[in-house]
Amino acid sequence: MYEYIKGILTHIYPSYLVVETNGVGYHLLMANPFRYTDYHGQEVMIYLYQNVTQDAIQLFGFKSHEEKGLFLKLINVSGIGPKSALAILANEDHLGLIRAIEQEDTAFLQKFPGVGKKTASQIVLDLKGKLSELSVDQFTGQLSEELKLDDPKQNLSLEEAIEALYALGYAKREVAKVSKALEKMEKTTTDGYIREGLKLLMK
Q: What is the pLDDT of residues 44-69, one digit of tens each?
A: 999 999 999 888 899 999 998 889 99
For the chain, the domains span 4-62, 65-139, 156-201
- Helix (H/G/I), strand (E/B), else coil: 107: helix
pLDDT band at 124 (very low <50, low <70, confident <90, very high): very high
Say if 4-62 and 65-139 have the same CATH topology: no
pLDDT, residue 71, reads: 94
pLDDT, residue 131, reads: 80
Residues of the chain with pLDDT > 70, as a percent, come to 89
Residue 137 clears pLDDT 70, i.e. is over it = no
- Per CATH, domain 4-62 is 2.40.50.140: yes
Class of domain 65-139: mainly alpha
CA torsion through residues 127, 132, 133, 134, sign: positive
pLDDT band at 41 (very low <50, low <70, confident <90, very high): very high
pTM value is: 0.70
pLDDT band at 146 (very low <50, low <70, confident <90, very high): very low
